[in-house]
Amino acid sequence: MRTIYSQLVGLVLIGLVGLVTGAAAAEEAGFKAIFDGRTLNGWKAVEMGYWSVDDGAITGRSTRQHPVKSNQFLVWQLGELDDFELKLKYRISGTPSANSGVQVRSRVDKDGHVAGYQADIDRGDQWAGALYDERGRGMLAECGKKTVIGSDGKRTSMSIGDSDALKANINKDGWNDYHIIARGSRIVLKINGKVTAEVIDNDKKDRDLSGVLALQLHAGPPMQIQFKDIHLRRLKMHEKKKVVLVAGPRSHGYGAHEHNAGWLLLAKLLAQLQCQCPPVKPKPRPPSGRSYAHATCSGIPIRARTCGLPPWALSPLLRVLSGGMAVRMGVTFFISLTKRMW
């Protein structure tokens, strides 16, 4: 009896060690779950009635009683994607025309439609594994293809695998693993461990290096699409720099004009800056006695006013910000865009 008891305890301990080891390995890989498996917390759609959580999976469903007349999107609310890896499982059911997709580095239009790169999903063996540009340039790379898009928008396509074999690798009625990798201008799609499409997008006019993540429920006959085990890993950016602001002690009370509005304006400006812009020589503004510094980015003048920070100190601060480096600030200041220099 003691021997059996010891064996049972040993098996339980081995199982627990395996679970801990597996969780630690996933954590070390840097992947984080962005769906809790129970609720739609952190996800939002214009029409939430199409979306629910069933059997631990995000479920988008259209029926005869509740048809989808225009594409619907469930958007992740907790950040945007730039360089990243995304892993998830999907399962689609319905007629052969059932269609869905995963939007990455995309934008949300005023009507709620999500436009941009889409890792395609369908049930008719036509689009699954392809990279599509929703409301944009259309199909970028079909399943089994690699496309290089030049700076002038011209495309060169080549084969990277047998399309029929890649589609045969997809489980029509069960769960499939989708792996999406985006580094700079390169996006790679994998389904069930096999590369299905690759795009190198050098078209700076139409490409997107960052944007939202969303799940699509396509318009058409009744269908169902499910997603689960959604994990995201952010990668070191390949072609851009990130600006990280770490606030020091506040110089004004929370909600005070210069503390609240100043940070909001700063965030808005930094979101618009897409280049490095060394500041010009700072200069004071005598009428008010306040300190200002100026810079220009892509022809747009920038003015910053400090709260007790002299212009000679603000100038290198602007330079650090525009250079995409991390900054720790113990003061609050304004950044504003103007049509002319003061």
pLDDT digits (tens, 9 = 90+) for 153-178: 999 999 999 999 999 999 999 999 99
Q: What pLDDT shows up at residue 80?
A: 92
pLDDT, average across residues 326-333: 38
Residue type, position 287, single letter = P
- 226-258 pLDDT, tens per residue? 999 999 999 987 666 665 555 556 566 655 666
- 58-75 pLDDT, tens per residue? 999 999 999 999 999 999
C-alpha to C-alpha distance for 278 and 317, rounded to whole angstroms: 10
Q: Angle at the Cα of 309 (from 304 to 313), degrees rounded to 5?
A: 80
Residue 205 has pLDDT above 90, yes or no: yes
Closest C-alpha to 259, from 293, 310, 309, 307: 307
- Res. 315 pLDDT band, cuts 50 70 90: very low
- Res. 218 pLDDT band, cuts 50 70 90: very high
Residue 327 has pLDDT above 60, yes or no: no
pLDDT, average across residues 76-97: 95
Q: What pLDDT shows up at residue 319?
A: 47
Question: How many C-beta atoms surround the C-beta of residue 105 within 10 A?
Answer: 21
C-alpha to C-alpha distance for 183 and 152, rounded to whole angstroms: 21
Domains and CATH numbers, the chain: 33-234 (2.60.120.560), 245-337 (no CATH)
Please tell me the least confidently modeled range out of 75-89, 115-129, 208-222, 251-265: 251-265
Q: What pLDDT shows up at residue 47?
A: 95
* pLDDT greater at residue 271 or residue 111: 111
Q: What pLDDT shows up at residue 270?
A: 67
Please tell me the least confidently modeled range out of 122-126, 209-213, 318-322: 318-322
pLDDT, average across residues 72-86: 95
Residue 307 has pLDDT above 60, yes or no: no
* pLDDT greater at residue 20 or residue 88: 88
**Three-class SS of the chain:** CHHHHHHHHHHHHHHHHHHHHHHHHHHHHCCEECCCCCCCCCEEECCHHHEEEECCEEEEEECCCCCECCCEEEEECCCCECCEEEEEEEEEEECCCCEEEEEEEEEECCCCCEEEEEEEEECCCCCCCCEEEECCCEEEECCCEEEEECCCCCEEEEECCCHHHHHHCCCCCCCEEEEEEEECCEEEEEECCEEEEEEEECCCCCCCCCEEEEEEECCECCEEEEEEEEEEEECCCCCCCCCCEEECCCCCCCCCHHHHHHHHHHHHHHHHCCCCCCCCCCCCECCCCECEEEEEECCEEEEEEECCCCHHHHHHHHHHHHCCCCEEECCCEEEEECCCCC
- 104-146 pLDDT, tens per residue? 999 999 999 999 999 999 998 899 999 999 999 999 999 999 9
Across the beta sheet with 292-297, the strand order is 292-297, 300-306, 333-337
Q: What pLDDT shows up at residue 56?
A: 97
Closest C-alpha to 189, from 225, 154, 142, 226: 142
pLDDT, average across residues 171-197: 97
pLDDT, average across residues 209-228: 96
C-alpha to C-alpha distance for 99 and 195, rounded to whole angstroms: 20
Residue 297 has pLDDT above 50, yes or no: no
- Res. 265 pLDDT band, cuts 50 70 90: confident
Q: What pLDDT shows up at residue 11?
A: 57
Q: What pLDDT shows up at residue 332?
A: 36
β strands within 56-193, DSSP E: 57-62, 72-76, 84-94, 99-108, 114-122, 131-134, 138-141, 145-149, 155-159, 176-183, 186-191
- Res. 9 pLDDT band, cuts 50 70 90: low
